[in-house]
């Protein structure tokens, strides 16, 4: 795992500049560094040594005649098989790295190489003869890749902060991203919080030549359920495919550990992987927020060593500026901080960890996926439900009223992902500034359109796979692990696992318990059965245990005077007044403290932005 940076060279002193850009992401690769600079291009690399840990694996790496050069961040798990084919075709290798397989593979197959890969990656290849840059990002967006074009300079990097030392980089806030963020809790489009800086979307590649940038998609999820196999057959297929993925994800020349919460995803991965060490964090002694006791018992049952840490409120709040610095963009997911700390304790003992990200999106694990057809009311005609919803929408907000409002909307109208913070009307009331941010439904519509013929559960999964997972789940996984120089691998997010999951019928993803409509819904149904099958008998209850996933007691803390005052000071600050109307912000905070409403997530969304803005704009970071 590594960090990459680069730019088309039209400046003086490019050797110094690329060095300073590399220094900004030293945490991504503290083991080694390398760069290549000529009159056309500057490429930089920071290395965290995982495969072929000798110096022969240092980057940049060249092809045989030196006409192409690559910088790469990630791991290719099937690189040995591809290497064999390339050797048969006459390619000569100097190292045993997956990096060199990529550059020879691109020589041989061009962009068709991408669909041959199994792994996580972001890489860029410079072709000296064509004067052309080729860059690509992996299927799910596990590894990040940002780019910008400023003053005729094309620059790219694993993190936006790497652009800051470049003399042509102009640091400006993108206020459109701010308004979108207030609804989604992350930046939901290819735009970032920095004006004219973009993310290369998952499963896309770019070609940059003669100042022209071309971006194309090379892969997409294609749900095509197969109703012929029995549930038992699907369970066995999941078991076999996931075991194979875990074995592939364990390929390394260093020790591999595993994160462990009390949920089925991380437990399944830890049990199947047979790693020696697991890592867990929690808060206080309340089981609502602390999974350490459960994790220690589970680790003991599978014969593994568990390392844990109780995060104090002081540590949590004291780390927020550091967290938002490493995140590059504000992310209002409170669990990001917990993830930072579990990465920290893991990095003291291992260089690589397995984690359970992606299982919910692939196998249908979120509770919200049980919402469609979850009640008798759902089976009434939509016209009737819309009429009732319109009437309910005119009444004061209440849990019962909200039910009828929600059920009176199609999934395309009501669902934008696992977080819906502020409605467009609410964010307009909060914001003092005006932007051209679109309605949330305009952002989600292209994704819904691609799966228009599918059922609502599949539509929700498809949207989350493309937006929530890349924008929130994988963003924090990459940035928090790399902040601690730790490689995080996600065996659920494997192309072979996805190929299997695409064909699982919806009834085996989200189902009624025992197959009867009167009983509760079970999410990730077939996967849970596979986990139960593959997990030791004494820990099989994991498969039905309610998911917590490093929960954070933000709701409780915001009622305490110390933390209430910290947030109130931020809400009334000069920075806040640049963007927000202060009175409605303070009302949100007061109503939460007084128990009138649980506004914790909305409060945290605004507060997180203000922390991030202070770090990147008020502190004059460069």
Q: What is the 3-state secondary structure (H, E, C) of 277-311?
A: EEEEEECCCCCCCCCHHHHHHHHHHCCCEEEEEEC
Beta bridge partners of 155: 7, 148
Q: DSSP labels for 463-517?
A: HHHHTHIIIIIHHHHHHHHHHTT-EEE-TTS-HHHHHHHTTS-HHHHEEEGGG-T
Quote the CA–CA distance of 138 and 490 in Å, as a whole number.
Answer: 13
- C-alpha span between 437 and 432 (Å, rounded): 14
Q: What 3-state class would DSSP assign to 37?
A: strand
- Please give the pLDDT value at position 297: 86
pLDDT number for residue 550:
52
**Cβ atoms within 10 Å of 188's Cβ, excluding its own:** 22
Report the pLDDT value the prediction gives residue 517, as an integer from 0 to 100.
Answer: 43
Q: Which residue has the tokens 């009175």?
A: 583
**What is the reported pLDDT for 514?**
53
pLDDT at site 542: 52
pTM (predicted TM-score): 0.93
Q: What is the greatest pairwise CA distance in the chain? A: 73
Nearest to 493, CA basis, from 308, 231, 265: 265
- Residue 520 to residue 541: CA distance in whole angstroms: 17
If you count them, how many residues does the chain have?
622
Residues of the chain with pLDDT under 50: 515-519, 549
Place of tokens 């997911």: 333
Domains of the chain as residue ranges with CATH: 2-217 (3.60.20.10), 231-365+464-544 (3.40.50.620), 553-622 (no CATH)
Specify whether the CB–CB gap between 551 and 335 falls below 8 A: yes
Q: Is 217 helix (H, G, I), strand (E, B) or coil?
A: strand
Residues 6+ apart with CB under 8 A from 74: 1, 2, 119, 120, 121, 122, 123, 138, 142, 143
* CA 240 – CA 356 distance, rounded (Å): 17
Question: Could you read off the pLDDT of 160-219 as tens digits, one per residue?
Answer: 999 999 999 999 999 999 999 999 999 999 999 999 999 999 999 999 999 899 999 999
Identify the burial level of 589 via C-beta atoms within 10 angstroms of its C-beta, where 0-12 means exposed, 13-18 middle and 19 or more buried. Answer: buried
| 70 φ/ψ angles, rounded to the nearest 5 degrees | -130, 145
pLDDT for res 373 = 62
- Any idea which residues carry the catalytic annotation? 2
State in Å, rounded, how far the first CA of the chain is from the last one.
Answer: 25
Residues near 542 by beta carbon (within 8 Å), at least 6 away in sequence: 262, 263, 264, 267, 268, 298, 531, 532, 535
């Amino acid at each position: 795992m590594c960090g990459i940076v680069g730019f088309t060279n039209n400046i003086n002193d490019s050797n110094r500049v690329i060095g300073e850009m590399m220094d900004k992401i030293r945490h991504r690769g503290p083991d080694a560094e390398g760069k290549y600079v000529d009159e056309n291009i500057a490429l930089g690399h920071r290395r965290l040594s995982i495969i072929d840990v000798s110096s022969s694996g240092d980057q940049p790496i060249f092809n045989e005649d030196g006409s192409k050069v690559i910088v790469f961040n990630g791991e290719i798990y099937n690189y040995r098989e591809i290497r064999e084919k390339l050797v048969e075709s006459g390619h000569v290798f100097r190292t045993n790295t997956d990096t060199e397989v990529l550059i020879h593979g691109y020589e041989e197959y061009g962009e068709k190489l991408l669909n041959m890969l199994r792994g996580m990656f972001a890489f860029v290849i410079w072709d000296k003869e064509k004067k052309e840059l080729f860059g690509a990002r992996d299927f799910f967006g596990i590894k990040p890749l940002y780019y910008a074009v400023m003053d005729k300079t094309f620059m790219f990097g694993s993190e936006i902060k790497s652009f800051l030392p470049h003399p042509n980089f102009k640091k400006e806030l993108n206020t459109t991203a701010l308004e979108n963020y207030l609804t989604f809790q992350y930046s939901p489009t290819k735009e970032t919080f920095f004006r004219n800086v973009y993310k290369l979307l998952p499963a896309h590649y770019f070609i940059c030549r003669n100042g022209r940038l071309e971006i194309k998609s090379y892969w997409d999820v294609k749900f095509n359920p197969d109703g012929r196999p029995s549930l038992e057959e699907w369970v066995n297929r999941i078991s076999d495919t996931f075991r194979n993925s875990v074995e592939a994800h364990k390929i390394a020349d260093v020790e591999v550990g595993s994160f462990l919460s009390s949920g089925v995803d991380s437990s399944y991965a830890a049990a199947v992987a047979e790693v020696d060490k697991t890592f867990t964090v929690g808060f206080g002694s309340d089981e609502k927020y602390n999974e350490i006791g459960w994790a220690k018992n589970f680790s003991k049952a599978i014969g593994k060593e568990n390392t844990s840490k109780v995060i104090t409120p002081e540590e949590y709040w004291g780390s927020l500026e550091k967290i938002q610095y490493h995140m590059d963009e504000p992310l209002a997911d409170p669990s990001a901080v917990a993830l930072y700390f579990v990465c920290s304790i893991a990095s003291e003992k291992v260089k690589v960890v397995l984690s359970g990200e992606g299982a919910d999106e692939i196998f249908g694990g979120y509770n919200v996926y049980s919402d469609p057809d979850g009640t008798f009311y759902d089976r009434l005609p939509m016209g009737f439900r819309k009429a009732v919803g319109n009437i309910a929408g005119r009444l004061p907000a209440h849990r019962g009223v909200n039910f009828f409002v929600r059920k009176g909307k199609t999934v395309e109208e009501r669902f934008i992902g696992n977080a819906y913070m502020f409605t467009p009307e609410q964010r307009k009331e909060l914001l003092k500034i005006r932007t051209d941010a679109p309605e949330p439904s305009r952002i989600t519509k292209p994704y819904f359109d691609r799966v228009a013929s599918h059922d609502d559960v599949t539509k929700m999964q498809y949207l989350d796979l493309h937006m929530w997972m890349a924008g929130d789940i994988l963003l924090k996984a990459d940035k928090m692990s790399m902040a601690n120089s730790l490689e995080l691998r996600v065996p659920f997010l494997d192309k072979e696992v996805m190929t299997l999951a695409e064909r699982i019928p919806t009834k085996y993803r989200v189902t009624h318990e025992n197959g009867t409509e009167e009983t509760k819904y079970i999410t990730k149904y077939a996967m849970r059965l596979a986990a139960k099958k593959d997990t030791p008998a004494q820990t099989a209850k994991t498969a039905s245990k309610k998911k917590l996933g490093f929960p954070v007691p933000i709701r409780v803390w915001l009622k305490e005077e110390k933390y209430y005052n910290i947030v109130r000071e931020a809400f009334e600050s000069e920075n806040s007044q640049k963007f927000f109307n202060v009175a409605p912000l303070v009302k949100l905070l007061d109503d939460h403290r007084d128990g009138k409403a649980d506004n914790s997530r909305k409060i945290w969304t605004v507060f997180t932005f203000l922390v991030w803005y202070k770090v990147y704009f008020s502190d004059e970071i460069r």
